[in-house]
Amino acid sequence: MLLLILISTAVLVGVALAAEPGTPTIEQIRDRWAEISYQLPKAQRESAFEELARQVEGVRQARPRDAEALIWEGIVLSSLAGEKGGMGALGLVKRARADFEAALEIAPDALDGAAYTSLGALYYQVPGWPLGFGDDDTARTLLRQGLAIDPDGIDANYFYADFLRDQKDWRGAKEGFEKALAAPARSGRELADAGRRREAQSKLQEAARRLAD
């Protein structure tokens, strides 16, 4: 069973992109992602992410050498895969991996190293061989690279902490979630920050319980 927790699985005031003519901006993609991730009921998220994936593909095609467009296509595809689940999601995460790898070749520091963090998240959430490409050692390396670029960032700390949680390193996970919760607010990304903080708080409580056992 393929389960993805995203990402990134990576945001704020929702925008009804379908109602706007032309290709949406990166900011509109970002904002709609946050709205779907943190405000829509689960039953509506898969179809909403499918529509957003079509829109972000247009953005990426219009800007094929833009690392931010590649990163956001990867994030949307990863989120869609998480909603679909199962083996049917594997093709989506492979496309997302290709997007993140392409972004790293163009601009590794784009969006505060989000390609490293998002790619690392895929590597610990996707099953390993023979079902998928998951690999914990690769995940650790990539997530640490993301942290090196954005050491105080909410996403970089959240996903590294979540990786440590997956490894049952409860003390390391607790410290990481605490850092995520202490991260500075991102201007214009109130919805994403609030959603990520809720996730971090819930997992911090789990880590604390594990340490107390």
Task: Kindly state the DSSP code that residue 86 receives in the 8-state scheme.
Answer: S
What are 112's two structure tokens? Answer: 């505060």
What are 48's two structure tokens? Answer: 């909403």
* Residue type present at position 85: G
Give the span between the Cα atoms of 67 and 102, in whole angstroms: 8
Query: Using DSSP, how many helices (H) and how many strands (E) does the chain show?
Result: 9, 0
- Summarised one tens digit per residue, pLDDT across range 100-117 is 999 999 999 999 999 999
More confident residue, 21 or 145: 145
Of 28, 35, 37, nearest in space to 8 by CA = 37
Q: Is the dihedral of CA 26, 76, 146, 168 positive or negative?
A: positive
| Structural domain boundaries in the chain | 17-153
- Summarised one tens digit per residue, pLDDT across range 115-171 is 999 999 999 999 999 889 999 999 999 999 999 999 999 999 999 999 999 999 999
The count of residues in the chain is 213
b/e sequence 46-76, b meaning 16+ C-beta within 10 Å: bebbeebbebbeebbeeeeebbbbbbbbbbb
3-state secondary structure at position 97: helix
Residues in contact with 150: Cβ distance below 8 Å, sequence separation at least 6, in sequence order:
112, 113, 117, 156
> Phi and psi of 123, rounded to 5°?
-65, -25
Q: What percent of the chain has pLDDT over 90?
A: 86
The Cα diameter of the chain in Å comes to: 56
At the topology level of CATH, where does 17-153 sit? Answer: 1.25.40
pLDDT score of 8: 37
Give the span between the Cα atoms of 170 and 108, in whole angstroms: 30
Residues in contact with 137: Cβ distance below 8 Å, sequence separation at least 6, in sequence order:
none
> Phi and psi of 39, rounded to 5°?
-125, -30
